[in-house]
Amino acid sequence: VEYIFTDKTGTLTENSMEFIECCIDGHKYKDCISEVDGFSQTDGSLKYYGKAEKSREELFLRALCLCHTVQIKEADQVDGLIGHPERKHTYISSSPDEIALVKGAEKYGFTFLGLQNDFMKIRNQKNETEMYQLLHVLNFDPVRRRMSVIVRTTTGKLLLFCKGADSSIFPRVQQEEIQRTKVHVDRNAMDGYRTLCVAFKELTQKEYDKIDRQLNEAKMALQDREEKMAKVFEDTEADMHLIGATAVEDRLQEQSAETIEALHAAGMKVWVLTGDKMETAKSTCYACRLFQTSTELLELTVKVVGESERKEDRLHELLMEYHKKLIQDVPKNRGGLKRSWTLSQEYGLIIDGSTLSLILNPSQDSSSSNYKNIFLQICLKCTAVLCCRMAPLQKAQIVRMVKNTKGSPITLSIGDGANDVSMILEAHVGIGIKGKEGRQASRNSDYAVPKFKHLRKLLLAHGHLYYVRIAHLVQYFFYKNLCFILPQFLYQFFCGFSQQPLYDAAYLTMYNICFTSLPILAYSLLEQHINIDTLTSDPQLYMKVSDNAMLQWKPFLYWTFLGAFEGLVFFFGVYFLFQNSSLEDNGKVFGNWTFGTIVFTVLVFTVTLKLALDTRFWTWMNHFVIWGSLAFYVFFSFFWGGVIWQVSPFLKQQRMYFVFAHMLTSVSTWLAIILLIFISLFPEILLIVLKNIKEKSHQVRNKFM
């Protein structure tokens, strides 16, 4: 794996939200509740600045209590008693953010009591119950990045409450209301908090009737239903009034920073793709050490590019500037993952969804249509990339763009929510985290893990081991079949190309099925040439198998040479020994089938013992299949040649009758088999000895350095 694409919320963070503070009309309110011995107590009452502000604060808290899809589960009772008197109910929602906001409103005195028969009940600060009829829910989606509800009060007022990301709320509210709230939103985002803005508007009966009719028509549409619903949502959520904003903390997952450092050390590049605000995501990237303090950040965001008519020209200038800087400072990489990470300057790139759309889909009259290639070159030369305010399809576009680059690098995507499914499906390897936002990600992934930290062991240990096993499996199959077929090919030059087989038909059939299949199967499932703990703790070891190192031309030629060498030894070794008629005590020379059986015996023992030499992690299963396969071959040869078969015309030939047993009566045959096996395996034994000497000298040198 060369590139890792990860979500932020629920993947790098816990997705366990805690309400920190809120801002109402520019006034900040910190959490006024503390917990002592498991019970909540109030440190002090809220400070109100006149009746108008108090009404706005109450409106804000009502919005938090009403604008959500939270459900209430009553506490279980045992023998008529409730386990926790102070906690008589539990909030349930697909979004932890909504639960945190409802709990935050509860701390300030407004409690959501539940939804019953389309009526939402809340309890206000005066301990009075308020009823609101829920008319419509405009559900959240990753493209709009907001949700709304339309409710009717007991007095007949029609209210629309909306909450969402600042980038989606600010363009839809009165512009003079934005600045006093934006300061708090930006500061909270820089502190690493997740921010949401809250807005409302009062509807007339005529306006509501129009919205109700349009929503029903869109829901009943047989064609383009999603587009029509989005159009109604867009028209409805307009000309609102901003009330305030919230700040929710999402703590970093345990060992997230250490995991990212290890992945970087292993030569992998980590990209964070998130829908969160840039400042929040940036703070998280510093906390998890994706960005270092020495990293120079390159920004391609709306803040830098601007929103004027010249934004494409400005984007072109920035792309050229960054491209020139990176080309001059970063040397060309020809070693794949074995790249130099000790550059004169590390660079990180930050881009948002709006700018990405401009790059991937430039307008027809744009001064440059080559944005995508330049952008890709910049990304590939950065040590880390942060993509914020991303829609799910944009996440998939990023993964596809990298996956289709020259060299086709292996990509991995990891996420926990439904909005991560598209990028998980797009990557070569998809990892799903079983989080709090449902099981869509894990169900659509290749592998599922509980936490982000498990990615370290999954890649550095199991990924390393399985690559070595599979690579060895592929090379070994070519090797053992070359050893098998080469003597048969050479034999044709000595039998006048008469199609006379060297091996008996039973041996031809059972070589790959029975005699040599189980040892390599056990090896490819159980082999651990390096301890798992060592692989996990030393990320540099992963780089030794990067870039498909074990399936390149060099190792392939080595295995091919080894197979050809051993095939020549098998055939010509037995051939030259057959020149001596003293192989039998009575002076007779062995026949054709005896010749082939000796070659086949040396072949089976050599390729099996070769695998035994390669095995570093011995289990009872390895012992059983390796020595058992050799024992089975000997047993089968005695059995096959020791019985007179009269079952079918094919078996009546009896060409192998007593051949194997008669062959082993010659002491010279025993010596020949042992000698040829040793000669065949000598290069491998010599290579292992030299490798062990080199490793020991390297360990001693590291010990004294």
Q: For residue range 285-313, list pLDDT tens digits in order.
A: 888 888 888 888 889 888 887 766 677 77
Distance CA 311, CA 358 (A): 9
Instruction: Tell me if 98 is assigned to a ligand binding site.
Output: yes
pLDDT of residue 511: 92
Model confidence at 32: pLDDT above 50: no
* Residue 49: band (very low, low, confident or very high) from pLDDT cuts 50, 70, 90: very low
Q: Which amino acid is at 60?
A: F
* Residue 344: band (very low, low, confident or very high) from pLDDT cuts 50, 70, 90: low
Instruction: Tell me if 8 is assigned to a ligand binding site.
Output: yes
Model confidence at 493: pLDDT above 80: yes
pLDDT of residue 82: 42
Model confidence at 620: pLDDT above 70: yes
pLDDT of residue 558: 93
- Mean per-residue pLDDT of the chain: 83
Instruction: Tell me if 533 is assigned to a ligand binding site.
Output: no
Q: What is the pTM assigned to this prediction?
A: 0.80
- pLDDT, one tens digit per residue, over 220-254 is 888 888 889 989 999 999 889 999 999 988 888 88
- SS3 helix, strand, coil % of the chain, rounded to 5? 50, 20, 30
41-55, 340-354, 363-377, 561-575: which has the highest mean pLDDT? 561-575
pLDDT of residue 151: 93
pLDDT of residue 75: 58
| The pairing of beta strand 89-92 with beta strand 71-74 | antiparallel
Does the CA dihedral 163-169-170-175 come out positive or negative?
negative
SS3 assignment for 480-540: HHHHHHHHHHHHHHHCCCCCCCCCCHHHHHHHHHHHCHHHHHHHHHHCCCCCHHHHHHCHH
Instruction: Tell me if 181 is assigned to a ligand binding site.
Output: no
For the chain, list the domains and their CATH numbers: 15-249 (3.40.1110.10), 251-449 (3.40.50.1000), 458-704 (no CATH)
Distance CA 94, CA 16 (A): 12
Instruction: Tell me if 534 is assigned to a ligand binding site.
Output: no
Beta bridge mates, 41: 34
CA-closest candidate to residue 372, choices 352, 383, 386, 356: 356
Distance CA 54, CA 45 (A): 13
Active site residue 7: yes
Instruction: Tell me if 9 is assigned to a ligand binding site.
Output: yes
Question: What phi and psi values does residue 220 have, to the nearest 5 degrees?
Answer: -90, -5
Q: Which amino acid is at 511?
A: Y
Instruction: Tell me if 177 is assigned to a ligand binding site.
Output: no
Distance CA 404, CA 216 (A): 43
Q: How many CA atoms within 13 Å lie on the side-chain side of 246? A: 30
Let me know: does 31 contact 46? Beta carbons within 8 Å: no
pLDDT of residue 225: 87
Instruction: Tell me if 660 is assigned to a ligand binding site.
Output: no
Backbone dihedral region for residue 462 (phi beyond 0: left; psi -120 to 50: alpha; all else: beta): alpha
CA separation, residue 686 to residues 297, 530, 556, 690, 691 (Å): 52, 21, 19, 6, 9
Instruction: Tell me if 140 is assigned to a ligand binding site.
Output: yes
pLDDT of residue 695: 75
Q: Which amino acid is at 262?
A: A
Sheet bearing 146-153, strands edge to edge:
27-30, 13-24, 241-252, 194-203, 158-164, 146-153, 129-141, 119-123, 111-116
Burial 558-583 (b: 16+ CB within 10 A, else e): ebeebbebbbebbbebbeebeeeeeb
CA-closest candidate to residue 4, choices 286, 251, 290: 290
Instruction: Tell me if 97 is assigned to a ligand binding site.
Output: no
Catalytic pick among 7, 166, 250, 352: 7
Distance CA 230, CA 523 (A): 56
pLDDT of residue 39: 29
Average of pLDDT values for 462-475?
93
CA-closest candidate to residue 244, choices 120, 64, 44: 64
Average of pLDDT values for 607-621?
94
Helices (H), 578-646: 592-614, 620-642
CB atoms within 10 A of CB 318: 17
- pLDDT, one tens digit per residue, over 83-96 is 444 555 788 887 88
- pLDDT, one tens digit per residue, over 566-587 is 999 999 988 887 776 555 665 5
Instruction: Tell me if 163 is assigned to a ligand binding site.
Output: yes
Beta bridge mates, 248: 19, 194
The proportion of the chain whose per-residue pLDDT surpasses 70, expressed as a percent, equals 86
Instruction: Tell me if 274 is assigned to a ligand binding site.
Output: yes
Q: What is the DSSP string of 33-62?
A: EEEETTEEEESSPPP--SHHHHHHHHHHHH
CA separation, residue 284 to residues 5, 251, 352 (Å): 15, 9, 16
Instruction: Tell me if 7 is assigned to a ligand binding site.
Output: yes
